[in-house]
């Protein structure tokens, strides 16, 4: 026990020391840049968490590495844009993005993945094939143009802040929304009957089936929720940033790295990973622009070297 | 995921394959359960030469002499170079049980190194003699492959695919954003293949034969290594790492070494690819290209090294002639659908189809013989 506490302190000093030095330097040097970078990192992390939580949920229960997750993100974003453009109601667009992606995910589980349960590699290959086909179909339908839509007036504009003059209200709302969704997911998984079934399925699929639960229904529901989260994040992220071909790859990579760092199948892990990666990316971008992406990679390599299953990962 | 599940996933095709070839028991001898015999390996290999091997070898040698330069260079040369990169994945995936998506990044790094150390139009290039640049390119890319292996073998099965995917995409972004070494989004242009002994390797015919030599070298190298003690141990690690560890094998070392071996193959392929394309840019190692390599390997089938080349030929043909089927921009749709169909209906790829066909024919022949014999 004593040596473990010692180890913890050693880690805190080795990793926390340089970070503390950097924070002090950055605050003294240019407090405004530091604060705005920090806020950017945290709000980007919120978006990453929204995408990655669906990915990790699906993987945790079904061991299905859904590499078409990025495509579902983009599909949700495009459909949301169409609906938002037609009705001028942002909330409707969010709902449409969620429902479309959820429906696609549900159909995939019922018509494809159900028949290859336990063949992880084959499922992954199928999702890769799907992502190729989906990306091309979306390029066909929506072209290579960049789309962007405005959030509703209530959360548009900027919010006065102490050190920096103002910060986009929408990003703050996204952050709050991500926290709310995270809490909602936690409540759903830990306090409801269906959530209990999902958690039981994560631990032991066969045992859950043996105790009389219709596992296929649980799987289909989980896949729909996971895919829906991607579509939801698509609309939210498309509003904050923009929608264009290639975003699917970007968010697939983001959710992969977040989930690898945080630990597969754990919602809390996704939150921790998203925070780490979001901050690393934004600070890298602000303080060492050419090597922004390398920071993300270094974080991942470090975590893998010392905790191969991610920070909060459990042995499968 | 338990080791048993992973093994089942990897072997679900293998069992059926062996069974199918084994049914007409008298006709086809079982693919030899390899015992480590290094000494008499050559005579054993000579004994196994069949008519179809001779035909294929003769065909690939005569091929460029009878077709147009377009078919020699764009179809033949490119298939062989891509096939070599895919072969590295077949070796890793089929014999090591580790599906790595970063093989294209390894090949891309080799290409970048040829451009950086060798000659290009960009001022970054150091203008070393070509053979030195190529040697160092292969060395550095193999080192990178080993590093990728070292990072990813700590995890098992399905995690490997994700980690190598993340590494590969990170490499893509690095080449895109770094201007001092990788020349950012513009990449390197006019990286010409050298003149060797008065032969311009840029011409279709010499390039084809160079690619063919490298491809054959890679093919026989893999054929040799999977029968060598290292290859046997690697297949043991694929099938049951826990048992191999109990037997005293260093499982991690075998896996990392497999990444290095595959890295050599991929980097040779990468050098060929940059000479084929004459240029390299971040797009050459993007996610699309990484997945192309996986598509090629899976399309051909990962049960045998020849699958990589069969897949590459089909891939390149579809790439070049999708324009006749449907608009050129929809190439991804065509290849994606072909890939999906293969994954859904024939997990062993074209090799699986070939094995099925042979089993059918053999069964048909046996039936006919039975009938005529009364």
Q: Which residue of B has its CA nearest to A127?
A: B340
**What band does A206 get if pLDDT is binned at 50, 70 and 90?**
confident
Instruction: Kindly state whether residue B93 falls inside one of the protein's structural domains.
Output: yes
Contacts of residue A46, defined as CB under 8 A and 6 or more positions apart, other chains included, come to A174, A175, A177, A178, A179, A274, A278
Quick: pLDDT tens for A210-245.
888 888 888 888 889 989 999 998 888 888 777 888
B335 at A interface, C-beta within 8 A:
yes
Distance CA A308, CA A299 (A): 13
Token pair, residue A211, equals 């105790």
Per-residue model confidence as pLDDT tens for chain B (374 residues)? 445 554 454 444 443 343 333 333 333 344 444 444 455 556 666 667 777 788 888 888 878 778 787 777 788 888 999 999 999 999 998 898 888 888 999 999 999 998 888 877 777 778 888 888 899 999 999 999 999 898 888 776 667 887 888 888 888 888 888 788 888 788 888 777 777 777 777 778 888 888 999 999 999 999 999 889 999 999 998 888 889 989 988 888 999 999 999 999 999 999 999 988 888 888 888 888 888 898 888 888 888 888 889 889 888 888 887 777 666 567 778 878 888 888 888 777 788 888 888 888 888 877 777 777 64
Instruction: Kindly state whether residue B58 falls inside one of the protein's structural domains.
Output: no
Q: What's the total number of domains in chain B?
A: 1
Instruction: Kindly state whether residue B355 falls inside one of the protein's structural domains.
Output: yes
Residues 237-266 of B with CB under 8 A from A: none
Which residues pair with residue A137 across a beta bridge? none
How many secondary structure helices (H) and strands (E) does chain B include?
A: 17, 2
How many secondary structure helices (H) and strands (E) does chain A include?
A: 12, 2
In degrees and rounded to multiples of 5, residue A243 shows phi and psi of: -115, 125
Distance CA A258, CA A269 (A): 8
pTM: 0.78
Please state which of the ranges A171-185, A188-202, A250-264, B329-343 shows the lowest mean pLDDT: B329-343
Q: Hey, where are the domains in chain A?
A: 40-244
> If interface means Cβ-Cβ distance under 8 Å, which residues of chain A face chain B?
63, 65, 67, 112, 118-122, 124-126, 128-130, 132-133, 135-137, 139-140, 249, 253, 256-257, 259-260, 264, 289-294, 296-297, 300-301, 304-305, 308-309, 316
CATH number at residue B166: 1.10.3470
Contact A120 B157 (CB under 8 A): yes
- The distance of A301 to chain B (nearest Cα, Å) reads 7
Three-state DSSP state, B14: helix
pLDDT at residue A109 is higher than 70: yes
Q: Which sign, positive or negative, has the C-alpha torsion B21, B25, B27, B30? A: positive
- pLDDT the model gives residue B262: 93
Instruction: Kindly state whether residue B238 falls inside one of the protein's structural domains.
Output: yes
Q: Which sign, positive or negative, has the C-alpha torsion B209, B210, B213, B218? A: negative
B327 at A interface, C-beta within 8 A:
no
Instruction: Kindly state whether residue B260 falls inside one of the protein's structural domains.
Output: yes
Contact A305 B174 (CB under 8 A): no
From chain A, the residues in CB contact with B347 under 8 A are 122
- pLDDT the model gives residue B50: 75
> Higher model confidence: residue B374 or residue A180?
A180
Instruction: Kindly state whether residue B15 falls inside one of the protein's structural domains.
Output: no
- pLDDT the model gives residue B31: 44
Report the candidate in A230, A229, A225, A256 with the shortest Cα–Cα distance to residue A124: A256
Instruction: Kindly state whether residue B39 falls inside one of the protein's structural domains.
Output: no
Tell me which residue range forms the domain holding B244: 69-369
**Mean pLDDT across chain A, nearest whole number?**
82
Distance CA A188, CA A197 (A): 11
Residues 142-171 of B with CB under 8 A from A: 151, 154-155, 157-159, 161-163, 165-167, 169-170
Query: Averaged over A60-83, what is the pLDDT?
Result: 85
Mutation for testing the B interface, residue in A71, A118, A132, A300 having most B CBs under 10 Å: A132
Token pair, residue B115, equals 């451009």
Instruction: Kindly state whether residue B11 falls inside one of the protein's structural domains.
Output: no
H-run or E-run covering A84: helix A69-87
ipTM over 0.85: no
């Amino acid at each position: 026990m004593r040596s473990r506490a010692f180890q913890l302190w050693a880690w805190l000093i080795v990793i926390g020391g340089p970070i503390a030095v950097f924070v002090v330097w950055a605050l003294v040097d240019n407090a405004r840049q530091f604060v705005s970078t920090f806020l950017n990192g945290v709000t980007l992390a919120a978006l990453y968490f929204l995408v990655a939580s669906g990915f990790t949920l699906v993987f945790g229960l079904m061991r299905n590495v859904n590499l078409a997750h990025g495509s579902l993100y983009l599909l949700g974003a495009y459909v949301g844009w169409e609906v938002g453009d037609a009705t001028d109601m942002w909330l409707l667009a969010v709902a449409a993005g969620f429902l479309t992606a959820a429906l696609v995910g549900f159909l995939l589980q019922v018509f494809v993945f159900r028949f290859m349960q336990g063949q992880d590699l084959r499922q992954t290959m199928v999702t890769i094939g799907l992502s190729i086909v989906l990306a091309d179909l979306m390029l066909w339908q929506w072209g290579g143009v960049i789309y962007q839509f405005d959030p509703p007036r209530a959360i548009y504009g900027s919010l006065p802040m102490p050190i920096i003059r103002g910060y986009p209200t929408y990003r703050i709302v996204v952050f709050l929304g991500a926290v709310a969704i995270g809490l909602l997911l936690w409540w759903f998984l830990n306090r409801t009957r269906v959530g209990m079934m999902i958690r039981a399925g994560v631990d032991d699929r066969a045992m859950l089936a043996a105790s009389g639960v219709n596992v296929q229904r649980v799987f289909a529901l989980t896949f729909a929720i996971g895919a829906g989260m991607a579509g939801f994040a698509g609309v939210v992220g498309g509003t904050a940033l923009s929608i264009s071909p290639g975003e699917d790859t970007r968010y697939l990579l983001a959710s992969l790295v977040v989930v690898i760092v945080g630990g597969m199948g754990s919602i809390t892990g996704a939150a921790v990973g998203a925070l780490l990666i979001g901050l690393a990316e934004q600070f890298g971008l602000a303080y060492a622009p050419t090597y922004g992406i390398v920071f993300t990679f270094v974080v991942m390599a470090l975590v893998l070297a010392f905790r191969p299953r991610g920070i909060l990962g459990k042995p499968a | 995921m338990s080791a048993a599940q992973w093994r089942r996933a990897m072997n679900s095709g293998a069992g059926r394959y062996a069974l199918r070839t084994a049914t007409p028991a008298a006709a086809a001898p079982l693919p030899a359960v390899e015992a480590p015999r290094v000494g008499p390996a050559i005579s054993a290999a000579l004994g196994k030469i069949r008519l179809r091997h001779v035909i294929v070898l003769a065909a690939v040698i005569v091929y460029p002499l009878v077709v147009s330069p377009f078919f020699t260079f764009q179809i033949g040369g490119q298939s062989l170079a891509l096939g070599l990169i895919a072969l590295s994945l077949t070796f890793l995936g089929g014999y090591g049980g580790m599906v790595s998506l970063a093989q294209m990044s390894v090949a891309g790094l080799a290409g970048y190194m040829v451009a950086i150390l060798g000659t290009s139009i960009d001022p970054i290039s150091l203008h070393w003699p070509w053979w030195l640049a190529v040697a160092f390119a292969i060395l550095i890319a193999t080192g990178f492959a080993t590093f990728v292996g070292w990072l990813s073998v700590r995890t098992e099965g399905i995690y490997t695919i994700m980690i190598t995917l993340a590494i590969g995409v990170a490499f893509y972004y690095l080449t895109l954003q770094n201007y001092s070494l990788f020349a950012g989004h513009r990449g390197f242009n006019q990286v010409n293949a050298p003149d060797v002994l008065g032969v311009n390797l840029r011409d279709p015919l010499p390039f084809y034969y160079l690619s063919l030599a490298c491809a054959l070298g890679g093919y026989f190298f893999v054929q040799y290594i999977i029968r060598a003690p290292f290859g046997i141990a690697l297949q043991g690690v694929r099938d049951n790492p826990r048992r191999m560890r109990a037997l005293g094998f260093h499982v991690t070392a075998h896996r990392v070494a497999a990444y290095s071996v595959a890295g050599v193959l991929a980097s040779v392929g990468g050098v060929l690819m940059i000479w084929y394309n004459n240029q390299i840019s971040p797009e050459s190692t993007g996610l699309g290209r990484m997945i192309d390599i996986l598509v090629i390997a899976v399309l051909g089938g990962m049960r045998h090294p020849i699958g990589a080349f069969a897949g590459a030929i089909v891939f390149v043909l579809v790439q070049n002639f999708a324009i006749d089927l449907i608009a050129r921009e929809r190439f991804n749709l065509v290849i994606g659908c072909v890939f999906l169909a293969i994954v859904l209906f024939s997990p062993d790829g074209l090799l699986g189809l070939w094995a099925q066909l042979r089993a059918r024919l053999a069964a048909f022949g046996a039936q006919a013989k039975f009938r005529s014999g009364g």
